[in-house]
Every structure is written in C-alpha cells, then in structure tokens.
Structure 1
Amino acid sequence: MRLPPLQLLPAFDAAARHLSFSKAARELHLTTSAISQQIKQLEAQLGMPLFRRLTRRVELTEAGHEFALVAAKTLGAYRSGHAAFVQKFARAQLRLSMTPLIANEFVIPRIQDFQSAHPELSLSIESSMDLVDFDQEPIDAAVRVGAGQWPGLEAWLLCECVAVALAAPSLLAAQPIRRIDDLVHHTLIRRRQEQFGWADLARLMQMPGVSGRNELLVDSDLAALNAAQRGQGVTLSFLPAGVAPSVLWPEDQLRAVMPPFKTSLKAWFVFRPNDAKADLLREVFAWICEQIAPSRDTDS
C-alpha cells in the first residue's frame, strides 16, 4: 500500500477531531470543499473510507478511528520536533525601548559591534520617551531617565546624568554666551515633555528663573538638537556624566555654552523581575554600559 502524502493529514486530523468538515475548514482557513477533496484523496490512497457521510454530520469508521491516531501522532511529533529545532537554532530576540538620545547617539551607531559579538541574539531598538507598560507591550527592557523606582519592575543603574546647554557655533559667534545671564539674548528651545528644562536649571542654580529673548517649543529631544544645530536657539540636553559633548556632536555643529550641570536624574535599564531572558538582558545591559562610559570620549 502506497504511503499517502503528508499534506493530506492536517485536513483529516482536524475533521476527525471536530467530526465536521466545516469546522475543520475554519480551523485551517480553507473551504469546506477543499477539506472534503483532501479527505477523498486520502481515502483513495488508503483504499477505504475514513468517514461515514450522514445527512447533517459525519462519523469516523473503524478504520477512521485507527488512522486518526496515526495522524495525530505524526503531526504531534512534527510540531514538537519543529519547536525543539527552533529553540536550538533560531536567534533569540530582544525588543528594547530607549530614550532617543541614548538610542541614536550611543547604541544604534555601534549596534553592529554587538551583533558581531553576539550572532545568536537579535536586537530590536525602539526610540521613545513614553513609559512602557510591560503588561501590555511586547518590550523586554527599557532605558529610561528617572529616580529608578518603578513599582513591580527591576531597574539597574546605567549612569548618572548631567545637563548641558548647546548652541551652534554661528549663533555663539554672533552673540557669545559667557555666563547664564547672556541667555537673555537668545531663543531658549523647550520640549513639550521634558524631565529637565530651563526652570529646573534655574532651581539647580538657585536662581528665580532663566530668561531668554523668546522660546521655541518642539516635540522631542532630537527636534531640539536639530533646531539648535540650525542656529535657531539654545537647547538643554542630557548626557551621561563624564561624557564630553564633543564625543557626540562635532564642535562645528554644536558647542557646550558652559560646563555641564550635575542633576539628580539617572539613566536606568528597566525590565520585569525574574524574566526568562535575564541572562540575555544582563549581556545587553553590560554592553550598553560600555557604550556610555566616559572612556568612550576618545572614540571617533
């Protein structure tokens, strides 16, 4: 007796479990007619009926019951074997969410280094300032700036953060900034959502406020940096403590207008406690720490 084609087994298996060609069709996203045709081909190959076609239902014959066990065992072995194969050979994936500055200036430009050292691991990077709902979003870890206390989550310290005021060289050539009072002659760039802005800088310096000639409101850190590079004003940005601005922005594009200001904010690597991917997350955490370390100041 010739061995029937394996591609006929899923239709028979589904119909045998449901005792319905139409339900089998819905499960396999096929038409009822296609299910019926495949089962007829299988019966022709075996040379015996597997179903009794009654008025409004079908029943398995004795041979159908026996072959249903064969089909279920065969398909079960294939599914479990495929799962074991994927677990052994498929690349593990980690989906990370990061603040735009850390993602675009520290991680993404050097991601090839990580992937070369870890060919078994695939990283997906999302750039966002929004808080991550780990219960609702398929994110494995997030890099965020804050106090490090997020209920129900574990947070590893990446670095302390400083604030730096940046402006284009052309802007500074036209109107130098030698002290903070000189900002009154410039446009101050602000972000719609910011954890540290000009008002926070004023409190840090124990001043009633920081005044500018006017303000420019933008949507993100990257938009603020782009506006500053075009000479449209002065912006505040976060940096890991000890990292010089010239590491990220050539001095012909942006310059620090005064020394960095120490803040109470820190960058954290946040993830679910007891995560099944904890060992992989530890590898990624250690690598990100290396990228934002002050020792990278001499990198080109």
Structure 2
Amino acid sequence: MRKRRLPPLNALKGFEAAARHLSFTRAAEELHLTQGAISRQVKELEVELGQDLFVRHTRRIELTAEGEQFYRVVEGVFDELERAALRLTRRRSDPAITISALPTIATVWLMPRLHLLVARHPEIEARIVSSIEAADLLAHDADIAIRVGRLPGRRYERNQPRIELPMVTRWDGVHADELFADRLVPVCAPTLLTGDVREAADLLAYPLIHTTTRRYAWPDWLRANGARYEGESDPHLQFGHFFMALDAARQGRGIALVPDILLAQDEGARGLCLPYSSEIASAGEYYLLIHESRLEDPRVQIFRSWILDEAVELRKHNLTSLTGRAP
C-alpha cells in the first residue's frame, strides 16, 4: 500500500481559514493562533506545493489563480470531513434512525404500519420525516430514504409515464432496494360516474384531479392508453400530493390518478372505485435507499428487512375487485 503524500494538516487548516476570510488576522482569531503562525503555515504550504497561493498586499491578501483552485478542493474535503464527523456524533448521541419518505408513502403506507415494527422490535426507535427533495444520504439528515424515480442506467419504454423527481443528490455508495412498481390508476367515488367508461378517453368527460408533484401524470398516462389530453387543469383540482388527491376523489370532486399501491389496503380503497383499469407502469419505481456506510448498522438492518417484507405483502394484493364499483 502506497504512502499518502499529503501536505501538513495544520498548514491546510491555516490556509483554508485564511482563504475563506481573505485575512491572516481573522484566520488566526478563528484558530486561536497568532497572525505570524498563520503566515508561517501558509508559507510552509506554498513551499510544499511549489506555488504561491496568495498575493500579499500591504493591508490585504488575495488568492492567486492556483490558490483559488486549491482552495475549492480543500474546502470540499473539509466540508466532507465535517459532515462525516457530524454523522458519527449524531449516531452516538441519538438512538433513533431517521427515515425520509415521500409524503404520501409516509402518510398512507409507512406510518400506519410502524407499530408492527415497534411491536416486533421495541428496541428500535424510528423517526419519520416527509420530503420529496433528493435525499443527501452522505449528509446527516436521514439514515434511510424512500423515493420514487429512475435508477441510473436503467432503460424504460418511451411511452411510459414520466417521473421527474430526483431520488438522491448523488449516487456514489448508495444501495437501492426496489420496493414496488409505480402504476398509476384512475380512482373516483362511484357516485361520480354517469355512464360506462369503455376506454381511457371516456375519462375526459369528468373533472380530472391533478397532483402538482407529478404534473405530467395525466397527459402521459392518457397518451400511453391511447387518449389525448389537451385541456387546462382546474386550479381548484390541483393538489400537492397523492394522498390529497385521493381524499378529493373520495369526496366526489373528480377522478384522481394515484399509485395502485395506495389502494392495496382497505383504508386506502375505502369509498373508491376504478372506472378504468390499466397495467402500464411508469418510468420508475419506489426504492429503499441506504448509503453503504449505514448497511452494517443493526438498526438499519432490522428496518430494511422489515420494510422489504412489508413491500412483498403489499405487492400480493390485487386491485381488480375494485374495478367499476365501490369497495
């Protein structure tokens, strides 16, 4: 194994602080050193690298082009070290694991089942937070994420409905377990239907409920089913998340397009029917996302095993019994 050729750490710390403040004096105050000590550390680093990193004026300093380039690298490394230290500190002091889940998945599927995990593993403390933002699993905001989207390099058919939500900020070191496919189905209150729905285009005779986080859902789904949507969406029928659209459909306000997994349990399907059935999957799936550095944590292993079993049970349910009638 080769020996690393790294500049002295103290010199790097002095340089980073001086470059950030553009001041030897303020860097010295931050690091509790003298201005002369910071100046010597920077000079030591310049000799080591064979490059001037600062232009020294009478009352100020500025980075050279080489210094600016080197600072960007050092800043990124220090930021990464800081995040890693924060993660370790948090895990030592916080017994809970944090799961960042999509709002609808958290509300309709995960939270109603969490008591099953606690009953089986009372030693596990799970904290659920909801978000549609790309998860940064290298930061300290979540141990596990549940997102919907496309895996890098995975190919999909051109006519599959789009999913434009990014799952993670970066994929390096991220382990992904597929939970279930994303199949959008139309649902409504049985009282809304006034005639037969024989094809997807027949749905256009009714108000359509839109989910703003999946703005292309209706146009893409209708096109994939041989219909065309060219109308303007009613601003009163636009909702932020699928669970909101589901409630609006239950109230008889229109037809919502939602993931079929939300209906694979009695509570989610209550008061709804499927006016038209389609087996077209979206261009993406729901995934359990964990950074490889967390895979050996016993708490993460327990949660991962449990949630994968729950996903298997969910996939066993059949929605054909809902077609055309209320459950």
Q: What TM-score does the superposition give when structure 1 sets the normalisation length?
A: 0.60
Tell me the percent identity: 22
Structure 1: runs of 5+ lacking an equivalent: 1-85
- Report the CA distance shift for 1:213/1:148 in structure 2 as closer, same or farther (over 3 A): closer
- Report the CA distance shift for 1:186/1:206 in structure 2 as closer, same or farther (over 3 A): closer
1:180 to 189, 200, 210: 200
Quote the RMSD (CA, aligned, Å).
2.9
Residue 99 (structure 1) aligned with residue 102 (structure 2) = yes
Q: Is the 8 A contact 1:189 1:236 kept in 2?
A: yes
1:227 to 244, 248, 254: 248
Letter in 2 for 1:145: V
Which residues of 2 match residues 191-210 of structure 1 at below 5 A?
Answer: 191-194=211-214, 197-207=217-227, 209-210=228-229
Which residues of 2 match residues 78-227 of structure 1 at below 5 A?
Answer: 92-149=95-152, 150=168, 151-152=171-172, 153-172=174-193, 174-194=194-214, 197-207=217-227, 209-210=228-229, 215=234, 216-227=237-248
Q: Is the 8 A contact 1:164 1:239 kept in 2?
A: yes
Q: Report what 1:71 is aligned to.
A: none
For 2:177 and 2:216, locate their aligned partners in 1 and report how far apart those are by CA, in whole Å. 21
Q: What TM-score does the superposition give when structure 2 sets the normalisation length?
A: 0.55
- Report the CA distance shift for 1:292/1:196 in structure 2 as closer, same or farther (over 3 A): farther
Q: Is the 8 A contact 2:223 2:229 kept in 1?
A: no
Letter in 1 for 2:103: P
After superposition, what is the alpha-carbon deviation per residue over 1:244-297, rounded to whole angstroms, capped at 9, x for unaligned? 64644345x111222243313211011222226544223212212222334663
For 1:196 and 1:289, locate their aligned partners in 2 and report how far apart those are by CA, in whole Å. 29
Which residues of 2 match residues 26-105 of structure 1 at below 5 A?
Answer: 92-105=95-108
After superposition, what is the alpha-carbon deviation per residue over 1:92-115, rounded to whole angstroms, capped at 9, x for unaligned? 311001123322222211211100
Q: Report what 1:288 is aligned to.
A: 307
Task: Please tell me whether Structure 1 or Structure 2 has the larger radius of gyration of its CA atoms.
Answer: 1
Aligned length: 206
- Report the CA distance shift for 1:295/1:154 in structure 2 as closer, same or farther (over 3 A): closer
Letter in 1 for 2:180: C
After superposition, what is the alpha-carbon deviation per residue over 1:61-107, rounded to whole angstroms, capped at 9, x for unaligned? xxxxxxxxxxxxxxxxxxxxxxxxx97xx983110011233222222
Letter in 2 for 1:257: P
Partner SS for 1:144: strand
Q: Is the 8 A contact 2:200 2:226 kept in 1?
A: no
More strand by share: 1
